[in-house]
Every structure is written in C-alpha cells, then in structure tokens.
Structure 1
Amino acid sequence: MIYLGITFIVLLALGMPVAFTVGLSALAFFFTQGVPFEIIIQKLVSSTQSFSLLAVPFFVLAGNLMNETGITSRLIRFATLVTGHMRGGLAQVSVLLSLLMGGISGSATADAAMESRILGPDMAKKGYSKGFTAGILAMGGLITATIPPSLGLILYGVTGEVSIGRLFLAGIIPGILMTLVLMFSVSYISKKRNYSKESDHFPSLKEVLKGLIENIWALMFPVILIVGIRFGVFTPSEAGAFAVVYALFIGLFVYRELSIKKLMECLRQTAIDLAVIMFIIVCSNAFGYAIVTGQLPQTLARAIVQVSSNPTIILLIIMVFVFIAGMFMEATANVLLLTPIFLPIIEAYGIDPVHFGIIYMILVTMGGMTPPVGVTMYTTCSILECPVETYTKESVPFIVSIVVLLLILVFFPQISLFLPNLVYGVAA
C-alpha cells in the first residue's frame, strides 16, 4: 500500500490527469506485489461489463440532445417568470434553472458551464460582481448531484449495488431544499448589495400555468423515469435508452429544433464525454482492486472504530474525509474509488446506504466547486474570466449554507428516506 499511496500523491502533485494518476498508481502496486499481468487486464476490462453501467452513456447522450432541442431556452424563460420578481433576479433564475436542468443534464459541471455562458454576460451587465456570479453559477450546479437522473447517483448505485430507483427518489427533497437554501443566500446577499430584480410584479397564476404547459415535456422527464423504474416498466439502463428516444422525439417532432448538424455535434460531444468517464471507470476499478487487496477498508474501519462507536460521529468523520478528497479529485473518480471503502463501514454501523448516498454525492460534487483542484470551479472561472481567489471568497456564504443543510440531513435521515420508503417500502 505504501507504493500505491506514494505514486498516487506524487503523480497528483505533478498535475497528472486523475485517470492516469489512478491507473498508474494501481499498476505500480500490482508490479511491486508480483500480480500476474493477466489479472491486471481482467480487472481493467471487467469494470466495463456491468449491465447497469449502460445507463451512463444513454443519459449523457440524452442530456446533450435535450440541450439542443430548445428545452434549455424555454426553461430559462420559465425560471425568469417565477423568480424574476425576487431581489437578485438573474441569480435566482440561475438557481431555479439548476433545479430544472438537474433532471436533464445530470452533470454539475455541464450545468455550471451552460449557465455561465448564457447567464454570465447578462449578470455582468446588470452589475453583479464576478465573484458572486461565478460562485452562484458554480454552486447552483450542485443541485444536479441529487435531482434524477444524477450520473453520480447512478455510478454510486452501480458501484455499491444500491437501488438506483430508491436513490433517485431520495434525492428529490434534498435537491429542492438545496434550491431553497441557495435562493435564500442569494436573496440575503442581493439585498445587502442592492442587486436588481428582473421584473416588477409577482407572476400571476395564469402566467405560471402557461409556463408549466410550455415546459411540460422537460418537467415530465424525471417523473416518467422514476415512475417507469418503480413500476418495472424499465430498468435504470433501459430508462437511459428511453431518455434518448424521448429527447429525439421532442427535438424532431415537438419543438422541431434538432437538425442533423446539431445531432452530429451531440454525438461528437457524447463520445468525448464517455471516453473520459469510461477511462476513469476502467482505471478506478484497478485502483479499487489494489485498495481491497491491500486491506485498506479493513484498516480504515478499525481506525475509525477506535475514534467512536456512535454512527452519527462515524458518518461525520467520513463526510469530512470525502469533502477533503473531493477538493483534489474529480467527482466520478471519487465515487468509484471511495464507495467500496466507505460503504461497508457505514452499513456495519446501520446507516442506510441510500441516505448515505445522497449526503455522499453532495459532498463529492461540492469538492469540484472548491480549491485547489475543483473542476466545476475552474470551468466557471475560466468562462467568466474570474480569479479563483475572488471566486473562493464570494462562494463562502453558499458553501456554509450547503454545510448547514448537510448537517440537517445527517441528523434527520427521514428527509432523504421519506419518498423511497413511501414508494418502495422500508428497506429490510
């Protein structure tokens, strides 16, 4: 394990891409332990043979397709209608849009990048500071960590053999609460800085209903997925295939905005996205095998047990570790690497893996929005030309509000478990 740890830290410090860092560290461990080359190849290839993993490429393609069908522009208009009358109107629009887009993109970085390009310039013209703009656009993407179909929840479910249907339902209430918490933070800061509103009147019921009807295709998407999975119409993997067909149908026959050129661009971008994700999955599986072989989960479990036997304390310790790890590694890699380590520990303490999964995904995703190696943070700052130092300072209120929400979720697990227990029954 010493060679594994040293190689990993050195390569990460040198700025090696995460997938290569993980893969080369695993290879260093295997060679020092004399593991046959055939087993190494088997471990690399076996990670791609999961049927449930088929959900990932399908949902990635569906998200890219929906962004080209006109759904995004319609959702922006609806978000502006509903929240434009609030102080800090455009910032409020961005938060609500993240909630609505969470059921489409499933990716925090993709959501933050899209909103930075579309809303960023207008927020600058309205007088919002660069740091505030970058902070809320990046942190708003955190909502996609729990709103179905979250790619992170799918990977967590596949890796830990946890019900994806239960995870999807468990993420809904925390996702809505996260939206409200961030909107409250925006309102508080905007009032102090006198940021403008987008409209002078509260939307009428007629206007809201009209907006809902215009966006019914987008808003129904996550509902159809959850209902379909719950009642056995399709598995999570088949739900991904359905999502692609659904997106094509909307783009070609409902909004009629999906051209052949846009379709080719979607396929190109999806191929790039999947190449990155699958390479991380392959390397992470080998790294995970090295960790298990080196008895790290058992060693870590014994160390944690010595600290406390209280499940809540154990969960808080793991949360701190996950948050720190998220600062240095990409979310997908963290989910694949840390799930096999921590899931057995939390299950041994009687903590529901679905409840843990929601908290876990929020923390892992938030790591991408914090220094020093946050992918979402750098993406947003790059697009908006905002210094990382300025972003870090102005994102503190949003981070604090999310931490408060996480503590509430820890001490009141039924917030996450209410819907899955209602629909599926209490887990045995």
Structure 2
Amino acid sequence: MGILIGGFLVLMLLGLPVALAMICASLLYILATGSVPNVIVAQRMIAGVESFPLLAVPFFILAGNLMNIAGITGRIYNFAVALVGWMRGGLGQVNIIGSVIFSGMSGTAIADAAGLGTIEIKAMRDHGYSAEFSVGVTAASATLGPIIPPSLPFVIYGMMANVSIGSLFLGGVVPGIVMTLLMMATVAFIARRNNWGGDALFSWKKLGSASTEIAVVLAFPLVTWLLTRAGVSVNTAVGCTLVVLLLADWYFDFSAVMALMAPVILIGGMTLGWFTPTEAAMAAVIWALFLGLVRYRSMTLKTLVRATVDTIETTASVLFIVTAASIFAWLLTVSQAAQLMTDAILGFTQNKWMFLLLANVLILVVGCFIDTIAAITILVPILLPIVLKLGIDPIHFGLIMTLNLMIGLLHPPLGMVLFVLARVARLSVERTTMAILPWLVPLFAALIAITYIPEITLWLPRLVAAGK
C-alpha cells in the first residue's frame, strides 16, 4: 500500500501528469510485489473503458462543442441580457443565467468557462467591470455545468457507484437552482455595496419577449402532459407539440427557444423512458446539429470538422485518465488499501454527519490536486462502502462529491477552470485565484446546504419515481 500511494504522491510532486503518475505507481507496485501478473495492467485498463455509460462522454463533449460553433452561446447570452441585464450588477446576473442555460447542454464546467466565458468576460470588461469581478463570477457560474443535468461527472460516478445516472441527473436540478439563487444574491450584494446599476435599459417589451420564450418552453411539457391525459399516446402528443413549437419558432423568430429546449428534451426523454442517459448524449448531439445546420444555419463543414477534432482530443484525454484511474483503483482494492482506509475512517467516527464533514474536507483537498474524473474513479471504491454502511443515499453523496470536485476546479495546482479563465482573461494564475476567492462563500454555503439537507437532492428523484 505504501508503494502504491507513496509512489503516486511522489510522482505527482515531481510534476508528472495525474494519469501517468497513477500508471507508473501501479506498475511500480506490481513490479515490487510480484503479486499481480503484468498482463493484468492492460486488462484492467481496457476493462475500465469497456462500459456503455462511458459512451455518453464523447457525445456530451461533442454536443458542447457544437453548441459553441453554432452560435448558440451568443443567443443564450442575448436572451439572458434581456431577462436580467437590467438588474443591479446586470452582466454579472447575465453571466449566471447564461451558465444555467448552457450547462443544460454541455455538461462540463470547462465547456461553460471556455464557451460562454469568452463572451461574458469581454462584455463585462467593456462595460467597465474589473477583470477580477468578471473572472470571479464566470468561474463560480461555471461550476453549475456538472450540477445541472446533463453532467459528465454524474456519468462517471453512476458507472463507478452502480446507481441510476438518470436519478443523478434529476438530483442535480434543485441543487443547481439553490446554487443559482445564492450566486445571484452575491452579485446583488456586491453591486449594492459598489452602487452599481443595471447594464441594459429596463424594457417591458424585452422582458416580456424573454418571459414569453420561457413560457413557450414550459408549455411544451405541460401541453404534452395534457394531451396524454386526454387519451393521446405519448409519442403522438410529443410529436404534435414539437411540430407546433418548430412552426411557432420559425414564424415568430424567437431568439433562444430552441436552445432552451435542449435540457427539456434531454430530461423529458429520460423521464419518459425514451432513452437512457447515454442515448440522451446522442440526442443532444442530434439537437445541436439540427440547430446549427437547419434552424440557424450557422455551421460550416470547416467548423464542424474543428468541433469533431476538439472532441476527439478531449475524449482521448478523459478516457486515458479513466483507464489509468481504473487500474490504480483496482490495485487499491486488491491490496486492501481501500479496506484499511475504510476501517480507519469508521474507527474514527460512526456518525454519518461527521463522516460527511470529513468526506467534504478530503474531497476538497483531492479536488485541488487531481482531475475530476480521476478523483471520482479513485475515491468511489474507498468511500462508497462507508456511505452504504452509514445509510447515506449514494445519489445524495454523488452530488456532494461532484460539487466538492467542481470547487476544486477553481484552485491551483490543477484547477482546469482556473487556467482556462486565466488564459481567456489574460490574467496571471495568482490574480485569477484571488479573484475567485470571494465566490467560494456562496459555493460553500451551497455545499453545506446540500450536504446536511438531503431532501434538496433527493426530493425530485423520489417524486419522479413515485409518479411512475
């Protein structure tokens, strides 16, 4: 155990990438102990990616890239300006609302930060906001990406913990709303303290137009439900409602209705049992292609190829981390290291609330040093047995783990959102880190609420399960 964990930590401190550090530490353990045949390394690495749920990874990444090149991010931004740009700290509020909408399509914090973040930071700085405030609110809002469904970390966690990915997606809805409200309250507080006004003139016409688009989107599931109650089959009801929606969008030329429909289609399709979360990722790609090629006609062959190449590069790095983490996690299990850690934690406390406190601290620290996907793959085999033994719902714990790791993305040394935004805003990593620190207050407030009020996470999955 000392060779495995010690070797990993030493290699990390020497600056080796996380995935390579895990593979090298695993090989070192195998060579030193001679207890595991060498061929097991290749077998376990291949087994780590031979999973149907992991098919969702490239498709969600591709969907996020397609949304970016289709110009949908710009439409979302303009819609958010019309909806909340007139409030105090207007573009800060726009930043948050834009992230809420975009996170329902991309599923990753990095896509959110790189996509909308580029537009938002430039607009905020052009309106006189400091670089620090612009970067801080963009970083905080990017954490919504993996909490509001769909979510790549939920896919990995669901696969590792053997829990319903659809239930994890539903479990992220209410926590995402709580986080949004806390961030918007933080913007309002900072704006009032600095005597900032809005960044767009209040207009009943624009507000009414934005509200109408929201009403149209919300009417889709409502009308579908009413038709089914009247005896129409689900497929016919959805088909008819979708055709009417497309005609209305074409006639009135709504700015963002089709973009807003993406999360409705994904969550609704999974709830109705039309497709699994993995198939939902494919549906997200099809919807993005429809918007870019047919509805908005903003995609070209060149941009489509670029999005595909970017997706291949990102997917390769993610799956390489998964393969490396799978052999490392397996060795933690067979070497009894995971069991020893479990016994040590249970020997310290049998109280589930105290365990959740300790788990939060552990995951936060790990999230600052290890990539999100690798951290989930390593920590789930160690912590899940304790979670189940103490009677903690694994879906609830999945939200806790994901939010902790999202906060870790905002910190050096390996916080990817931190580095993406430092590059976008052309700030040093040190200045970017200082800009993010005040925004840890609403994030930690959300983490505490989600940790110690399980119903925030579990209410919606239980409601949907009861209604089936």
What TM-score do the two structures reach when normalised by structure 1?
A: 0.96
Partners of 2:279 and 2:375 in 1: how far apart?
26
Q: Is the 8 A contact 1:126 1:196 kept in 2?
A: no
After superposition, where does 1:331-370 map in structure 2 within 5 Å? 331-370=372-411
Question: Which residue number corresponds to residue 442 of structure 2?
Answer: 401
After superposition, where does 1:3-402 map in structure 2 within 5 Å? 3-34=3-34, 35-201=36-202, 203-204=204-205, 206-212=208-214, 213-402=254-443
Deviations 1:34-57 (A, max 9, x none): 121111111011112111111111
Partners of 1:19 and 1:390 in 2: how far apart?
28
Partners of 1:421 and 1:296 in 2: how far apart?
35
Alpha-carbon shift at residue 211 of structure 1 (Å): 4.4
The one-letter amino acid of 2:349's match is S
Deviations 1:124-172 (A, max 9, x none): 2322222222111111100112111111111111111110110011101
Alpha-carbon shift at residue 195 of structure 1 (Å): 3.5
Q: Is the 8 A contact 1:346 1:353 kept in 2?
A: yes
The one-letter amino acid of 1:61's match is L
Partners of 2:204 and 2:100 in 1: how far apart?
19
What TM-score do the two structures reach when normalised by structure 2?
A: 0.88
Alpha-carbon shift at residue 116 of structure 1 (Å): 3.2
Partners of 1:203 and 1:159 in 2: how far apart?
49
Partners of 1:161 and 1:140 in 2: how far apart?
29
What is the number of residues matched between the two proteins?
A: 427
Question: Which residue number corresponds to residue 228 of structure 2?
Answer: none
Partners of 1:275 and 1:337 in 2: how far apart?
19
Partners of 1:40 and 1:55 in 2: how far apart?
25
Question: Which residue number corresponds to residue 457 of structure 2?
Answer: 416
User: Where in structure 1 are there 5+ consecutive unaligned residues?
Assistant: none
- CA change 1:202–1:295 in 2 (3 A) is farther
Partners of 1:426 and 1:373 in 2: how far apart?
42
Partners of 2:17 and 2:119 in 1: how far apart?
28
Q: Is the 8 A contact 2:321 2:373 kept in 1?
A: yes
Alpha-carbon shift at residue 355 of structure 1 (Å): 0.8
- CA change 1:248–1:426 in 2 (3 A) is closer
Q: Is the 8 A contact 1:127 1:195 kept in 2?
A: no
Deviations 1:227-282 (A, max 9, x none): 22222211222222222222212211111111111111111111111110111111
Provide the secondary structure at the position in 2 that maps to 1:145: coil
Q: Is the 8 A contact 2:71 2:298 kept in 1?
A: yes
The one-letter amino acid of 2:208's match is K
Provide the secondary structure at the position in 1 that maps to 2:20: helix
- CA change 1:206–1:134 in 2 (3 A) is closer
Q: Is the 8 A contact 1:160 1:339 kept in 2?
A: yes
The one-letter amino acid of 2:138's match is L
Q: Is the 8 A contact 1:134 1:386 kept in 2?
A: no
The one-letter amino acid of 1:318's match is A
Q: Is the 8 A contact 2:68 2:115 kept in 1?
A: no
- CA change 1:266–1:359 in 2 (3 A) is same
Q: What percent identity do the matched residue pairs reach?
A: 38
Q: Is the 8 A contact 1:88 1:195 kept in 2?
A: yes
Partners of 1:389 and 1:202 in 2: how far apart?
40
The one-letter amino acid of 2:465's match is Y
User: Where in structure 2 are there 5+ consecutive unaligned residues?
Assistant: 215-253
